[in-house]
């Protein structure tokens, strides 16, 4: 990575000096098809003999520009942008998983990711082995010769658990298993994924990066650190020099066949959002920490969840892995589910909505919404409590938010 700071690097990547009108942000290429001067040239483009955009389900200049910016932010070798965070997760696993393989994963997952593993992937003969990501022995024991990846969320949503990726990485390296982590909750300005041993990152760009919940999007970030020739599905591919077997499989087959590449309008907005990510993240995560700390001693709050709190069992690992504050999500446990509803219904500034890292502060009761379709035994496995409320800190003034929460707590 070069020496420029995080935001400078992003802002100066993809800058077009030769635009016909001198536009300082790449205009949106909102078109499906690209024209070629002759038959030889279009054939060469399809056969990857020249680099050119042919069709926007496969690649597009606006999306390529956004991918370059993500490369600058992360320092990764290859990035591919999809239409949502879930599209990034599903495309990544369709690239590496095959009937008879298994994935070792924490069950502490965002609801749709858990459902994808448990219902969708299992129908294709892929086994997902759920382990406690804080128990290194369990991880070691679950891995065998058919394990095609270890997967976890960087900070689990909504439990706020933090696994020690550096320690897990040692096991995975010894067993030659790639580490794929959903890092949606903490961006690169506060977390160095490559240093922690992450081979592939999945990020829902819907969250911080979209710049205020402007649209859904996701990226698969490949650090090029894993030799995928150990994966039976990828080993025999004849790949070009500049891509890993994984990214080659994604680009040349999976993404174009599944048809969930990022739309150009989304790429434009998420590219702009990325330019202001660092300043927004700093304020949102400072607010999350301050609110979690302030209300952790409130008599009506049974427990406040945030990895940097002294009461969190994950404080030491969080302090070691993250610079600054660990994310803009925090949680409260109240005494009962009825108290959660009573409290949420009295909030005036904070909005009841399911998203994270909007400019607006959001609140949700995960058990009765995101996880409502799961039967009680699965909620138990995933670790979903009906007394938990999840907050996502926005950009409003922290004192106004404190007042809003304080007033609503009086009603329980």
Ligand X SMILES: Cc1ncc(COP(=O)(O)O)c(C=O)c1O
**Which residues bind to ligand X, rule: CB under 6 A?**
84-86, 110, 153, 157, 182, 184, 204, 206, 216, 218, 356
For ligand X, the closer CB: 333 or 369:
369
Q: Which is nearer to ligand X, 85 or 178 (CB)?
A: 85
The candidate with the shortest Cα–Cα distance to 128, out of 169, 168, 96, is 96
Report the residue number, 62 or 206, with the smaller CB distance to ligand X: 206
**Closest Cα partner for 129 from 113, 145, 160, 107?**
107
Q: Which is nearer to ligand X, 110 or 281 (CB)?
A: 110
243: exposed, middle or buried (C-beta count within 10 Å: 0-12, 13-18, 19+)? middle
Q: Which is nearer to ligand X, 213 or 347 (CB)?
A: 213
Report, in Å, the least distance between residue 340 CB and ligand X.
Answer: 19
Nearer to ligand X, 59 or 83 (CB): 83
CB of 262 to ligand X, least distance (A): 11
Measured from the CB atom, the residue of 86 and 95 that comes closer to ligand X is 86
Determine contact, residues 151/180, Cβ cutoff 8 Å: yes
Question: In a 3-state reduction of DSSP, which class is residue 115?
Answer: helix
Place of tokens 């909102």: 30
End-to-end CA distance of the chain: 51
244 vs 192: CA distance, rounded Å: 20
**Residue 4: both structure tokens together:** 């420029």
Tell me if 156 sits within 8 A of 109, measured CB to CB.
Answer: yes
**283 closest CA partner among 155, 393, 404, 160:** 393
Distance CA 358, CA 280 (A): 10
Which CB sits closer to ligand X, 62 or 216? 216
Please state the closest distance from residue 357 (CB atom) to ligand X, in A: 9
Are 301 and 409 a contacting pair, CB within 8 Å? yes
Q: How far apart are CA 329 and CA 312, in angstroms?
A: 14
Tokens 């949606």 — which residue?
A: 184
Secondary structure E strands in 214-342: 218-222, 303-305, 329-333
Residue nearest ligand X, CB atom distance:
85
- Least distance CB 185 / ligand X (angstroms): 6
């Amino acid at each position: 990575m070069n020496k420029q700071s995080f935001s400078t690097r992003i802002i100066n990547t993809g800058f077009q000096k030769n635009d016909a009108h001198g536009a300082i942000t790449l205009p949106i290429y909102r078109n499906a098809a690209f024209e070629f001067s002759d038959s030889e040239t279009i054939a060469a483009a399809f056969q990857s003999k020249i680099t050119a955009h042919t069709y926007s389900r496969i690649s597009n200049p606006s999306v390529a520009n956004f991918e370059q910016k993500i490369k600058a932010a992360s320092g990764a070798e290859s990035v591919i942008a999809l239409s949502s965070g879930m599209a990034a997760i599903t495309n990544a696993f369709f690239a590496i998983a095959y009937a008879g393989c298994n994935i070792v994963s924490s069950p502490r997952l965002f609801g749709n990711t858990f459902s994808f593993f448990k219902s969708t992937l299992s129908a294709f003969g892929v086994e997902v082995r759920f382990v406690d990501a804080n128990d290194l022995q369990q991880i070691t024991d679950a891995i065998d010769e058919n394990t095609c990846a270890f997967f976890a969320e960087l900070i689990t949503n909504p439990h706020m658990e933090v696994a020690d990726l550096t320690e897990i990485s040692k096991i995975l390296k010894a067993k030659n298993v790639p580490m794929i982590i959903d890092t949606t909750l903490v961006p690169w300005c506060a977390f160095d994924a490559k240093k922690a041993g992450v081979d592939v990152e999945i990020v829902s760009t819907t969250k911080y990066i979209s710049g205020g919940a402007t649209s859904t999007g996701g990226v698969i970030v490949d650090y090029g650190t894993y030799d995928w020739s150990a994966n039976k599905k990828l080993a025999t591919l004849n790949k070009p020099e500049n891509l890993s077997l994984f990214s080659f499989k994604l680009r040349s087959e999976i993404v174009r066949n599944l048809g969930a590449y990022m739309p150009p309008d989304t790429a434009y907005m998420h590219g702009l959002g990325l330019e202001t990510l660092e300043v927004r993240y700093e304020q949102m995560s400072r607010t999350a920490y301050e609110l979690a700390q302030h209300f952790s001693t409130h008599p009506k709050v049974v427990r406040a969840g945030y990895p940097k709190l002294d009461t969190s069992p994950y404080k030491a690992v969080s302090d070691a892995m993250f610079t600054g504050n660990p994310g803009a999500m925090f949680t409260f446990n109240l005494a009962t589910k009825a108290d959660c509803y009573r409290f949420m219904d009295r909030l005036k500034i904070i909005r009841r909505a399911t998203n994270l890292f909007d400019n607006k502060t959001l609140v949700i009761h995960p058990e009765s919404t995101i996880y409502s379709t799961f039967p009680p035994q699965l909620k138990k496995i995933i670790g979903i409590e009906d007394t938990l409320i999840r907050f996502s800190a926005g950009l409003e003034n922290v004192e106004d938010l404190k007042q809003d929460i304080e007033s609503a707590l009086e009603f329980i």
